[in-house]
Amino acid sequence: MNEEVLKEVCKHLTEKTYKDEYIIMKDKQMEMMFFIISGVVSVTKESSKHYLREGERPNHSGDELIQRWVRSKSTGVSAELPTSPSSFWAIGEVEVLILKAEDLASVQLGDRIGS
């Protein structure tokens, strides 16, 4: 994705704070992706658990939304929202930047995806 497209996507990022609550629940439709600004997120998938923290890689969730968006833009066919393979729980206070699927869908690629 080139810089122009990234700038357009970034216009839709909004800051949100979660405290001891689910950010995204397993097996629910992923209506957003998020990037951790500060705090710790517990990620639970089946029988495993790990933690995401700001500054670590990866420090986000929702790649499936980006993949869906690229597919729908390149084929012109809207795809169903993916379901989350994991639960994401805010441990204490967690600040994130969120990108909603509906906002991502409004970003136009044109011929700018390849750079």
**Statement: residue 59 has pLDDT above 60:** no
What's the whole-model pTM score? 0.74
The 10 Å Cβ neighbour count of residue 12 is 16
What letter would DSSP give residue 52?
E
Q: Please report, for the chain, the start and end positions of each structural domain, with discontinuous segments joined by +.
A: 3-106
For 27: left if phi > 0, alpha if psi spans -120 to 50, otherwise beta; the answer is left
The amino acid sitting at 45 is K
60 vs 96, residue with greater confidence: 96
Nearest of 90, 16, 39, 101 to residue 64 by alpha carbon: 101
Domain 3-106 carries which CATH code? Answer: 2.60.120.10
Q: Write the pLDDT tens digit of every residue in 19-44.
A: 999 999 999 988 888 989 999 999 88
The pLDDT confidence band at residue 12, using thresholds 50, 70 and 90, is very high
CA angle 26, 107, 76 (to 5 degrees): 85
